Amino acid sequence: MRYRKLGKTNLDVSILGFGAMRLPMAGNHGPMAGFDPNVPIDEIEATKMINHALEHGVNYFDTAYGYHGGKSEAFLGKVLRQYRTKVLIATKLPVWNLEKPEDMEKILNEQLTRLDTDYLDFYLVHGLGANTWPKAKGLDVLKFLDGLRASGRIRYAGFSFHDDIKVFKDIIGSYDWDMCQIQYNFYDQNYQAGKEGLAYAASRGIGVVVMEPLRGGKLVDKIPQAIQALWDGAPVKRSPAEWAMRWVWNHPEVSTALTGASSLAQLKDHTGIIKDAEPGSLTSEELSVFSQVQAAYRKMLKVDCTACAYCMPCPSGVNIPQNFQLYNDTFLFPNPEMNAFFYNHMLNPEQRGSGCNECLECVEKCPQKIDIPKELKNVHQKLGEKQQ
């Protein structure tokens, strides 16, 4: 295993972290079963995965209050109990479950019980963005984090993030954060916090944990023929998973990348590609392959949106880049149920394509000259709940 410092915490963390959002599950299930409390974790297989991770030097384990309907925290607590002083455990405070400040204390105590520990190494405010950040601040979450650090119930405070770079920088500048968790992969270089956010956080000594290095498996499953041909023609032969993980690890600002493996076979694949994962180790010829793959994916887009956000803010509150991201994903990485879930449940009603009032302000600002109102109608027709 290779280790890197996690920002100003100065902790050595394994460059591969164990993400417990997609643990193997018993029985037949759909793609959203990881959020269903009625679908049980396959504890035998999942325990084998954790043991394999530990044997190969993984020391960072990530979960959250709602993963597997609350069962993820309890499972990790049970399996990691005997290794508690040797591992780093991170979990998250769900802002959407909060109604009053007292709820934060109640949820934390529940999480400590589930995880069978009296302290957390990392406590992240979950899924911060333009909608959740004001709510979190209004509930005095920053004061709450200060108290937890002072009492020793958490060692370090952080946040996970899903929004644009402007919001990210606002959050970074509002508190003495120890670490943050962002989505980052070779396809999403400029998505949400992106490479600008990665550099911004690292320059301030904030450790960066990367989630979705394989984009939830989309970069390695059911790869279009044109994309696979580019990987096959690369100067070095690697699996798509190794290409994608090596790209993330090539960035020295990344402390650890979370594997979202849902089987022991997948995890073995990920632990087997670490030995050569030095920062800056990819050659210019190898990096050019990623440029070719990105260009090939871009040709497949239904809406040629670059997420530049010149169209934002929308007077009606529509999150235009996010709508187009989900819409394009439906065609590039076929998983309509997952994309529809995020559209209908992770976006507020006014943020969805159906909220467009066709004022045309966005059309005038779009460098790509996209007929945004027309395309937003297509998005809602494809992903809206009534169309499912």
Q: Is 174 in the same domain as 100? A: yes
Q: Is 168 in the same domain as 260? A: yes
Q: Is 224 in the same domain as 345? A: no
Q: Is 211 in the same domain as 347? A: no
Domain count, the chain: 2
Which pLDDT does position 359 carry in this prediction? 95
By percentage, how much of the chain surpasses pLDDT 90? 71
User: How large is the average pLDDT for residues 68-80?
Assistant: 94
Which pLDDT does position 386 carry in this prediction? 56
Is residue 191 one of the residues assigned to a domain?
yes
User: How large is the average pLDDT for residues 212-231?
Assistant: 87
Q: Is 152 in the same domain as 13? A: yes
95-144 pLDDT, tens digit per residue, is 989 999 999 999 999 999 999 999 999 999 999 988 899 999 999 999 99
pLDDT-wise least confident of 28-42, 71-85, 327-341: 28-42
User: How large is the average pLDDT for residues 27-47?
Assistant: 73
Q: Is 326 in the same domain as 264? A: no
Q: How confident is the model at residue 388 (pLDDT cuts 50, 70, 90)?
A: very low
353-376 pLDDT, tens digit per residue, is 999 999 999 998 887 789 999 999
Is residue 307 one of the residues assigned to a domain?
no
Q: Is 271 in the same domain as 352? A: no
256-286 pLDDT, tens digit per residue, is 999 988 899 999 999 999 988 999 999 999 9
332-342 pLDDT, tens digit per residue, is 776 778 888 88
Which pLDDT does position 275 carry in this prediction? 87
The overall pTM is greater than 0.85: no
Q: Which domain holds residue 184?
A: 3-288
Residue 187 in this model has a pLDDT that exceeds 70:
yes
Is residue 234 one of the residues assigned to a domain?
yes
CATH code for the domain in which residue 181 is found: 3.20.20.100
Q: Is 37 in the same domain as 118? A: yes
What is the SS3 string spanning the chain? CCEEECHHHCCEEECEEEECCCCCECCCCCCCHHHCCCCCECHHHHHHHHHHHHHCCCCEEECCCCHHHHHHHHHHHHHHHHHHHHCEEEEEEEHHHCCCCHHHHHHHHHHHHHCCCCCEEEEEEEEECCCHHHHHHHCCHHHHHHHHHHHCCEEEEEEEECCCHHHHHHHHCCCCCCEEEEECCCCCCCCCCHHHHHHHHHHCCCEEEEECCCCCCCCCCCCCHHHHHHHHCCCCCCCHHHHHHHHHHCCCCCCEEEECCCCHHHHHHHHCCCCCCCCCCCCHHHHHHHHHHHHHHHHCCCCCCCCCCCCCCCCCCCCHHHHHHHHHHHHHCCCHHHHHHHHHHHCCHHHCHHHCCCCCHHHHHCCCCCCHHHHHHHHHHHHCHHHC
